[in-house]
Structure 1
């Protein structure tokens, strides 16, 4: 990105910083652009926009058809204090706080609060939706007065490694402020439904057309084209949720199978990952590249450990693998079992021996499983439909009718 494209809010508030996303300081988007008065949505996220493309990106991209969306990320350590404003398109902007190393927590919160207030003032944002993925953002946002607060609880963050000790208390506060609570899966819904009067389950959805391309036989990406077959693949964040001991044992038991892993290594030491001639860590791939990798695998894995961090997960990769036409072998994750475990092409396995047996079964007979039922299920689980249903609930809070169908497509 060029220096001209990078824009910022900071101290001092210089003249060259008075434009964000190409709109002048006093620009007001005409209300005719929207079917309701509330024009802005500010999302506070623990995940970065340019990280793994998942729930926040799918939903907030679609939200930008109805709102001007501001996606506020967690701070990054920089050598100066500023708020980077990075436009994705005319209706969607990424906000990245940059803070000097060694800045204490109180100062971090004060600086972010100041930048947020400047953003609201500069763009005359007075009637807006506040959308939270992380309750910790309340540390610098509890003073704002949105028209509506939404908590999209996609994970039980308090169970993740390195979770702040005050996260649970902040979540209680957010549940008191929010008018709508969405959950990223059915088990998470069961855990939250008695904590708030308006909790709604929205499990992982699917961009069926995108991943369905894998069924067409796409060209093999260069970095896996030399690998032998069969290929057993995993795509996602490689962190404490992955059962690396299971993965290592599988690789030893079946040296004739190639295990391909796509994704960044986060919160664990890369040196702790099992190694071997049939284990291939190919790194993080762009969302657009994934169908080509999936198209050249034979089986997909969900080798999650069974611990507190996986107790409530609803893996986004499950429907993506299935849309790509891949049989799936998964640990007994509750939401995978309840949603897909009643008949193939999803096998549920516990331990290396069961995983080996299930993978062998999927390789031996991948074509006679219940794809018709799975495909019908996937057709009803699009991100478009999920956002439409969420937006209907939001419009209900505004006491307005849903918008025309074309805005959801």
Structure 2
């Protein structure tokens, strides 16, 4: 751990001690559209001394057509496909492999496995990646993870995947893929204490959720222009606004405490609709600007 001092405040720069390796991460989110998760932050740091390929989410299957986000998700995924393989300013590569968004049948999973293998091997050849450390964070990568030759396989479990309400994929299929990865993995990491405690996997570790301390520890000099106009007291939220939000609860609290103002910053799903004068949706913001929104809370 190295430390630097900025404005009288010590900030830490994490040195992971991993250098000269090739790392492939099958993420559970899309680099281009979703808010950066812990994987994004860690891989950005690892890319300083390692060759890193971030593979955008393979999805757990499409939501049902009746889902209000169905066409939004289709549109975003098609745009992501068009980028296929790109190098980003952080020094790593981001790839959106083209697959069929169906994992419910063995035949379609077989097709996807071969589509993925062709694209992955092509990208690995182009980037000079051999025998990588493989980091998997989504069950639908199980088939391809089993076929790639890797130095070590790490499976990160950050959710109860078979309880996902955002996918039409069978829970039995998700459980099967999840269990296969747990059996294949050299290391299984849990980012939720309850999930960790409920697990019986012997080679499991608990990796608790954290915060980018260096980014948020020093207050922004002033609040963001669209936040400073929100009256206090302010209840702030930074993150995805989707099906996991308890919309009725927010509506009820907003109705009962009209003097409380909700400042919601992040990408909003069509499922989150609240019409109240004290609930403010400010939309997604660049990560670098988030401290200016925290300043208003």
Same fold, TM exceeding 0.5?
A: yes
Instruction: Give the number of the structure whose alpha-carbon radius of gyration is greater.
Output: 1
Aligned mate of 1:199, from 204, 217, 241:
204
> What's the CA shift string for 1:122-152, capped at 9, x where partnerless?
3443321111001211233421121110011
1:48 aligned partner: 30
Task: Tell me, in whole angstroms, the C-alpha distance in 1 between the residues paired with 2:80 and 2:207.
Answer: 39
Deviations 1:80-114 (A, max 9, x none): 97772211247411111246999x66544432221
CA displacement, residues 13-37 of structure 1 (integer Å, 9 cap, x when unaligned) = xxxxxxxxxxxxxxxxxxxxxx889
Unpaired runs of at least 5, structure 2: 1-16, 59-75, 103-107
Q: Which residue of 1 aligns with 2:56?
A: 73
Q: Which residue of 1 aligns with 2:284?
A: 284
CA RMSD of aligned residues (A): 2.9
Please name the residue that 2:265 is paired with: 262
Match of 1:152, SS? Answer: strand
Please list every run of 5 or more consecutive structure 1 residues that lacks an aligned counterpart in the other structure.
1-34, 298-409
Q: Which of 153, 172, 180 is the aligned partner of 2:157?
A: 153
Change (3 A) 1:129 1:38: farther
Corresponding residue pairs, total: 257
What is the CA distance between 1:276 and its match in structure 2? 1.0
- Asked if 2 retains the 8 angstrom alpha-carbon contact of 1:40 and 1:125, the reply is yes
* Structure 2 CA distance for partners of 1:83 and 1:250, relative to 1, 3 Å: closer
124 and 234 in structure 1: CA distance in 2 versus 1, 3 angstrom threshold: closer
Which residue in the other structure is 1:61 paired with?
A: 44
Confirm or deny that 1:224 pairs with 2:227. yes
Q: How does 1:284-363 map to 2 (within 5 A)?
A: 284-297=284-297
| TM superposition shift of 1:120 | 2.8
Is 1:246 matched with 2:249? yes
Normalised by the size of structure 2, how large is the TM-score? 0.77
Aligned pairs (5 A) from 1:386-405: none
- Secondary structure, in 3 states, of the residue corresponding to 2:218? helix
- Structure-2 separation of matches of 1:282 and 1:80: 24
8 Å CA contact 1:79–1:99 kept in 2: the answer is: no
Q: Distance in 2 between matches of 1:295 and 1:124?
A: 44
Distance between the aligned counterparts of 2:230 and 2:82, measured in 1? Answer: 45
Partner of 2:274: 274
97 and 285 in structure 1: CA distance in 2 versus 1, 3 angstrom threshold: same
Structure 1 167/83 Cα, relative in aligned 2: closer, same or farther at 3 Å?
Answer: farther
1:131 is aligned to 135
TM, length-normalised to structure 1: 0.57
In structure 1, distance between residues paired with 2:134 and 2:96: 17
2:115 paired residue number: 111
User: Take 2:288 and 2:81, find their aligned partners in 1: how far apart are those partners?
Assistant: 33
**Contact 1:261/1:283 (CA < 8 Å) preserved in 2?**
yes
Q: What's the CA shift string for 1:249-269, capped at 9, x where partnerless?
A: 111111122111111123x52
1:82–1:98 contact (8 Å) kept in structure 2: no
- Give per-residue Cα distances to partners, 1:278-301, cap 9 Å, x unaligned: 11111112211111111111xxxx
Corresponding position: 1:180 with 2:180: no
